[in-house]
Amino acid sequence: MVLQDIIFWLLAAIMLAAALGVVLVRDLFRAALLLVTVFLAVAGFFVLLSAQFLAVVQVLVYAGAVAILLVFAVMLTKDVARGNQPNRLRLPAAGLAGLALAVFIAVAVTTGWTPLPPSVQEQAALVQTQASGGTTPEGLEQAGISGEVQRSQAQRATLADLLLGEYVVPFEAVSVLLLAAAVGSLALLRGRPQG
């Protein structure tokens, strides 16, 4: 537990410092690299929250693909030379952001969250850890999930079952959306067809 707390605070410090760096440093290229740091720190939080699959997706998609796209964009637009300048809205923006932060913190602190009992939390963590692969009977046994109903529920709770079961229509809609985005980007950048 202590180790987890240390990791939490360490990651929090790294993430917030890097995020501030993204919006404040003058060099756009450095901003892109700091953004990658933020992505990796967020992946670390996902591991802490026992969402390993999400952590992997985060590293692959964000720290991998998105970061490279952004670096390309920075290079292609030659925006590096000009750097990351603030506009005249800097003070109002900072004020608004501070206000929003105060509201969020006030709301989060005043709300009485009812956490799951620790034993359930551990079970949850276990199932989540295995959620990407499917939960083995031994794993469930270990976590003290014994009842027949509970076990079948736990086994149906895997991400794949949800994604291709209850959420299959949004899933397919997302695939259409990706196609639309790809076709659209090509149509905007491809040269004029000949003839």
Partner 1 sequence: MSTVTENLYLLTPEFLLAALALLVFALDLVLPESRKTWLAWIGMAGLTALAIFSVRMLAGRTESLYGGLLAVDQFSLFFKVFFMGLGVFIILSSVDFVKQHLSHPGEFYGILLFSILGMNMMAQARELVTAYIALELLSFSLYVLTAYARGNPKSNEAALKYIIIGAFSTAVLLYGISMIYSVAGSTHFDALAETLSSPGQAGPVLWVGVAFLVAGLGFKLAAVPFHMWAPDVYEGAPLPVTAYLAIASKAGAAALALRLISEGLVPAREVWPHWQIILAALAAASMLVGNLVALAQRNLKRLMAYSSIGHVGYLLAGMAALNIGGGMAANGIIFYLVGYAATSLVVFAALISFFNQTGQEEIADLAGLADRQPLLAAAIAIGLFSLAGLPIFAGFTIKFYLFAAVAQGGFLWLAGLAIFSSLISLYYYLQVIRQMYIQPVPGTAPDASGHGEEPSHTASHGQAVAGHASETAAAALRTPTGMLLAVVVAGLVAVLALGVYPGPLLEAIERASQVILPGI
Partner 2 sequence: MAPLVYFQILSAALFVIGLYGVLARRSAVLVVMSIELMLNAVNINLIAAASHLEGQGRFLNFDGHIIAIFVITIAAAEIGLALAIILRMYRNRATVDVDEINLMKW
Residues 100-129 close enough to bind partner 2 by CB under 8 A: 100-101, 104-105, 108-109, 113, 115-116, 121, 123-125, 127-128
Task: Kindly state whether residue 188 participates in binding partner 1, applying the rule CB under 8 A.
Answer: yes
Given a contact cutoff of 8 angstroms between Cβ atoms, the answer to whether 50 and 125 are in contact is yes
**Residue 173 CB, nearest approach to partner 1 (Å):** 5
Site map (CB under 8 A) of partner 2, residues 133-172, x = contact: ------------x----x--xx-xxxx--xx---x--x--
List b or e across 128-157, with b for residues whose CB sees 16 or more CB atoms inside 10 angstroms: bbbbeeebeeebbeebebeeeeeeeebbee
> Nearest CA to 70 among 182, 150, 61?
61
Among 1, 91, 108, 149, binds partner 1 (CB under 8 A): 108
Site map (CB under 8 A) of partner 1, residues 129-168, x = contact: -----------------------------------xxxxx
Residue 154 Cα distances to 92, 118, 130, 141, 180, angstroms: 49, 17, 10, 11, 36
Task: Kindly state whether residue 86 participates in binding partner 1, applying the rule CB under 8 A.
Answer: no
| Distance from chain centroid for Cα 42 | 6
Task: Kindly state whether residue 10 participates in binding partner 2, applying the rule CB under 8 A.
Answer: no
Given a contact cutoff of 8 angstroms between Cβ atoms, the answer to whether 42 and 16 are in contact is no
Helix (H, G, I), strand (E, B) or coil at 56: helix
Q: Residues in the site for partner 1, rule: CB under 8 A?
A: 103-104, 106-108, 110-113, 164-170, 173-174, 176-177, 179-181, 183-188, 190, 192-193, 195
